[in-house]
Amino acid sequence: DQQVKQNSPSLSVQEGRISILNCDYTNSMFDYFLWYKKYPAEGPTFLISISSIKDKNEDGRFTVFLNKSAKHLSLHIVPSQPGDSAVYFCAASSLQGAQKLVFGQGTRLTINP
Amino acid sequence: DGGITQSPKYLFRKEGQNVTLSCEQNLNHDAMYWYRQDPGQGLRLIYYSQIVNDFQKGDIAEGYSVSREKKESFPLTVTSAQKNPTAFYLCASSITGVHNEQFFGPGTRLTVL
């Protein structure tokens, strides 16, 4: 039972353009969502998060949008840079779930020069 | 510098041997977590601990054991009962009580020969 899904295993974007990574969830009890970036053989690095009481959160080039009715969130990166090439994981948690994170499968983003 | 350390980076063991992976944090976090990552998959929760001397099973605890005798340390033992132990293991920590990001260590690549 995959509660958090990232349906695109990979995404290729030209440098300078917008990258949009998508994530869907099924558990309506999730109330906090996070995006992590991961390079090979390294631990994930936290990027940005959003609480279910908001529908948008922005931090520099990164913006996360949350659509609760559709149980969908997305991460926008603009403009995309070569250093953004990595695997991106979305994750969700709920206070009822003891703040355990449930991760999606990840999307490999490649930024082409 | 505050952070999470995992050692060693690479670990090789013969089939049938138990092996213990180290995880230490100096962030003064109460909660600690162990995840496993397999190729093309997201992170799956093995065990977590929200306070010293207490821990709970995650989604894939079979064949693993943990201890939490000190706030700073959360070692994971991969036992011979774990059917597919070869994987990338990640340790994380966070504060408790409110939603917050988990901070990850650099990971340990375990290969069972």
Among residues A29, A47, A36, which one has the least CA distance to residue A93?
A: A29
Strand order in the sheet with B64-66: B4-7, B19-25, B76-78, B64-66
Q: Which two tokens stand for residue A18?
A: 């917008």
Closest Cβ–Cβ partner in B6, B99, B104 for A32: B99
Range with lowest mean pLDDT among B7-11, B28-32, B37-41: B37-41
Residue B47 in this model has a pLDDT that exceeds 80: yes
Strand residues in chain B grouped as ranges (E): 4-7, 10-13, 19-25, 31-37, 43-51, 54-57, 64-66, 76-78, 87-94, 103-104, 108-112
Position A99 scores a pLDDT of 72
Question: Cβ A103–B44 below 8 Å, yes or no?
Answer: yes
Residue B43 in this model has a pLDDT that exceeds 80: yes
Q: What is the mean pLDDT of residues B8-28?
A: 94
> How many Cα atoms are found within 13 Å in the side-chain-facing hemisphere of B38?
8
A82-91 per-position pLDDT tens digit: 999 999 999 9
Range with lowest mean pLDDT among A53-67, B23-37, B50-64, B97-111: B97-111
Q: Please give the interface size between A and B, counted as residue pairs whose CB atoms are below 8 Å apart.
A: 62
Residue B99 in this model has a pLDDT that exceeds 90: no
Position B1 scores a pLDDT of 62
